[in-house]
Amino acid sequence: MAQLDMDAFLKRFADRATAVKERGVPPLEGAARKRFIEAANQDFVDYSLIASASWSVEDERLVLRIPLSG
């Protein structure tokens, strides 16, 4: 089994959040444009939440603690 590097894992999520914010909107119109922007915003939130997590191993389980404030 591959070794899990949690710090690198969380860094990849931070990089993904940054990439979502920096990418442009493709030439879409109307409802398709709105759906794309909504999906990008949700991706950013999801990636940012995981990237901000602290982690530990408890009872042979990986535990992510995600701050809900600030």
- Residue spans of alpha helices (H) in the chain: 6-22, 30-51
Q: pLDDT of the chain along its 70 residues, tens only?
A: 578 899 999 999 999 999 999 999 999 999 999 999 999 999 999 999 999 999 999 999 999 999 987 5
pLDDT of residue 68: 86
Location of structure tokens 């999906």: 39
pLDDT of residue 37: 95
1 residue type, one letter = M
Give this prediction's pTM.
0.79
